[in-house]
Amino acid sequence: MTYEKNYNELQVNDGVPVKMWTKGVPVETVAQKQLENTAKLPIVFKHIAVMPDVHYGLGATIGSVVPTLKAIIPAAVGVDIGCGMIACKTTLRAEDLPDNLGPLRSEIEKAVPHGSAPKTYKRNGSTREVGAWSTPPSEADAAWSQLVDGFDALCLDYPRLKNTNNYRHMGTLGGGNHFIEICLDEAGGVWIMLHSGSRGVGNAIGTHFIELAKKDAELHQRNLPDVDLAYLEEGSQYFGDYVRGVGWAQNFARLNREVMMSRVIGALRKTIGKPFETHLEAVNCHHNYVQKEVHFGQEVYITRKGAVSAQKGELGIIPGSMGAKSFIVRGLGNPDSFNSCSHGAGRTMSRTKAKKVYTLDDQIKATEGVECRKDEDVIDEIPMAYKDIDAVMLAQKDLVEVVYILKQVVCVKG
């Protein structure tokens, strides 16, 4: 299959080219500088692929696909290891949902702990994180049983990981841009979709190995264009442990989403009060991760930081912002993108700026028709703080084809 060239190519002095699927969408100058720095690393293979939702990130650029030879950049993977999406179609129809969706949102919020770490509350004289379980349910126990041996082995070598909220985070949402949604497709079919990753323990693993990579770079006096681009090479002291740790965190993230999906299905059954089937078309995909793949005849490590695998025929999820539409897509297997596509719309402004620019009235208007939080704490997730999802999809028309267009009617945020 041949592909019409739909990207702009940036030539980098002393580096590999950067191929950017950004026609019709804005790209920050600071993000482009980050990409140029990454392209100068001696371990980068062939070129860097940049998705239309690209924006500046801590450590490395969000919306980038970085192929590396016999080395991995921990900060390019990031600290939300395995963050991604899961979605499934149900046999329910729009008319099966109640007119008042408030009780459904409440049931989902009761079924899945959500929120960020600093928030705590007292129960029976004790204090715990609102976004963690006090007593994890059976689904979380079953998932954790698949992970506990690997976690204990990691903790033997890195004891600081033990002091994380790991087991009690299994099956929990977190905060920030993580969400749970009930959506309708164009034909009126009901979908469940959610976004989360490896929670606190994944953050701890990512943070620890980013620090170790920086120390390793200092030891070998690498002339890095950015200290955050420190990498671990095969055969180095920490490389094998990082691969083991990041693989474990990615498994945690996948299972975490499966547990939450099970809990949300239960909440929907309780609210609807009628039988229905699920998993008619199910997708569970990472968009912050690294794995070994073969491209252009070469075995490489592919790091997708804010990007989704889009191999030919593979289903993926590209969510819009809160209040906007989302897409279930099928990959076209474009080799120039390393078989990848965007992971969402991509921010156009920081959370801090969004809260300064927009008001609560703006947020209420932008989320009209969606049963969700409408308060000042979620203004930073207002759709206008993100790129136009239609422009993003047009810019990657040679990477994916749209299978379903979804519009959320319920949105739960941390």
Judging by beta carbons within 10 Å of its beta carbon (0-12, 13-18, 19+), is residue 118 exposed, middle or buried? exposed
Give residue 177's pLDDT. 86
Q: Does a structural domain hold residue 366?
A: no
C-alpha to C-alpha distances, 350 to 31, 33, 155, 378, nearest whole angstrom = 13, 18, 35, 13
Q: For the chain, give the mean pLDDT.
A: 93
Share of the chain above pLDDT 70, in %: 96
CB–CB of 178/413 below 8 Å?
Answer: yes
Position 373 in a domain: no
State yes or no: pLDDT of 117 exceeds 80.
no
Instruction: State which amino acid sits at residue 326.
Output: S
Q: What is the pLDDT of residue 221?
A: 65
- Above 90 in pLDDT, residue 61? yes
Task: State residue 105's pLDDT score.
Answer: 96
Residue 279 appears among annotated catalytic residues:
no
User: Residue 265: how many CB atoms within 10 A of its CB?
Assistant: 17
Which helix (H) or strand (E) element contains residue 253?
helix 239-272
Mean pLDDT score, 201-209: 97
How does 396-412 read in b/e, with b if 16+ C-beta sit within 10 Å?
A: bebbbeeebebbbbbbb
Percent of the chain with pLDDT over 90: 78
CA quadruple 406, 407, 411, 414: dihedral positive or negative? positive
Is-contact 285 309, C-beta < 8 A?
A: yes
For residues 97 and 182, give the distance between their C-alpha atoms in angstroms, rounded to a whole number: 10
Residue 368 in any domain: the answer is: no
* Alpha helix (H) residue ranges in 311-388: 351-357, 360-366
* Residue 124's pLDDT band (cuts 50, 70, 90): low
Dihedral over alpha carbons 375, 381, 386, 391 (to 10 degrees): -90
Give the model's confidence band at 78: pLDDT under 50 very low, under 70 low, under 90 confident, else very high.
Answer: very high
72 occurs within a structural domain: yes
Cα distance between residue 362 and residue 89, in whole Å: 31
CATH of the domain at 51: 3.90.1860.10
At 2-26, the pLDDT tens digits run 566 889 999 999 999 999 999 999 9
Q: Total domain count for the chain?
A: 1
DSSP assigned state of 274: S
Catalytic residue among 169, 195, 287, 343: 343
Model pLDDT, residue 377: 82
Looking at per-residue pLDDT, the higher value among 111 and 355 belongs to 111
Residue-range definition of the domain harbouring residue 264: 8-348+386-413
User: Which of these, 323, 327, 318, 386, lies nearest to 351 by C-alpha position?
Assistant: 386
> Cα–Cα distance between 9 and 3 in angstroms, integer?
15
Q: Is the pLDDT of residue 1 over 60?
A: no
DSSP letter, residue 175: S
Residue 145: the pLDDT is 98
Q: Is residue 321 part of a domain?
A: yes
377 found inside a domain = no
Lowest mean pLDDT among 161-170, 209-218, 239-248, 358-367: 358-367
pLDDT of residue 279: 86
Whether residue 353 is contained in a domain is answered as no
CA 124/CA 51 separation, integer angstroms:
49
322 domain-assigned: yes
3-state secondary structure of 14: coil
Separation of alpha carbons 260 and 266, rounded Å: 10
Q: How far apart are CA 90 and CA 281, in angstroms?
A: 8
What mean pLDDT do residues 83-93 have?
Answer: 98
Q: How confident is the model at residue 121 (pLDDT cuts 50, 70, 90)?
A: very low
pTM (2 d.p.): 0.94
